[in-house]
Copies of this chain bind each other. A is one copy, B any other.
Amino acid sequence: MKIIRSIAGMRKYSGGARSKGKTVGFVPTMGYLHEGHLSLIRRAKKECDLTVLSIFVNPTQFGPAEDYKKYPRDLKHDEAIARRLGVNAIFLPTVDKMYPPGFCTYVSVEGLSGILCGRSRPGHFRGVATVVSKLFNIVQPDVAYFGQKDAQQAVIIRRFVKDLNMGVKIRVLPIIREKDGLALSSRNKYLSGQERKDALVLYAALRGARRRVLAGERSAKRVVSAIKRLIEEKKGAKIDYVSVVEADSLTEIKRISGKVLIALAVRIGKTRLIDNVIIIKKEGTKAQRHRGTKKKMEIRCG
């Protein structure tokens, strides 16, 4: 496994591979790898000739009051995992090289960046779109892998890749959860024992919402209310948002239909956690409805 620290070195490695007709799979991360990241690496290994992992805690996607400095880091542990999984190269750029003096270019996905998580994290998605653009230009992957847990991030990345005509295929893989339902996140490390227990309410509430929708609920408002009621029962939980949106455009909807994302962000103590489910609710055709056929539903969850 290669450890590449320079931008020129990374470009050369990828360029060399691609010029020999090899496909490059890319898993960009902020490190502190968990099973969620591992699922991405395993898929890249399966689908591409070479797998490149990047580890870079990107300062431009953290707000001034956010946890950039204390964001968990454990490079040794990450390297060992990557080696075990057969990663071909780890790209480890430094902040100085990624943002040299005079740096002033940003990629913004307007409209999609100011809603949901973007409302309480101004500048966050501009930072994400900018660093992912940079990484794509350096690594030049054929396919890049992201987790569905960051649902809005995934939509934004698909959007700017399409809008800027970047030749990268984006794969978004399902959320990986603990046995008790908690979505994996490097930030779970911040949780105390009690907070860890309280945090279970997030997925419990989302599961409840899914059941309601399956049972025929169409009102986004009622679904949101039910989720909020459950979460508010936990004393240590403070809701940032609970939203029901069209899954690809992130447009807020009133009536649940089609491919829907139910997403939330909640502060458990001082730790901000996010989680979501996707529900695909197919309506029967007009003819079917006239025949009184039961409306077809299909469910897919993050």
- Chain A: residues with CB nearer than 8 A to chain B? 7, 11, 19, 102-112, 129-130, 133-134, 137-138, 140, 159-160, 163-167, 249
Instruction: List B contacts of A160 (CB < 8 A).
Output: 105
Which one of A112, A165, A249 has the greatest number of beta carbons of chain B within 10 Å?
Answer: A165
Distance of A140 Cα from B165 Cα, bound (Å): 11
Given known pairs A134-B164, A138-B165, the reply for A109 and B105 (CB within 8 Å) is yes
Chain A interface helix/strand/loop/mixed: mixed
Interface pair A110/B104, CB less than 8 Å apart: yes
Interface pair A102/B165, CB less than 8 Å apart: no
Closest residue to A130 on the B side, CB-wise? B164
Given known pairs A11-B167, A137-B165, the reply for A107 and B105 (CB within 8 Å) is yes
Interface pair B105/A106, CB less than 8 Å apart: no
Instruction: List B contacts of A102 (CB < 8 A).
Output: 159, 249
Which one of A19, A106, A110 has the greatest number of beta carbons of chain B within 10 Å?
Answer: A106
Closest residue to A11 on the B side, CB-wise? B167
Partner of A111, one of B104, B110, B130, B167: B104
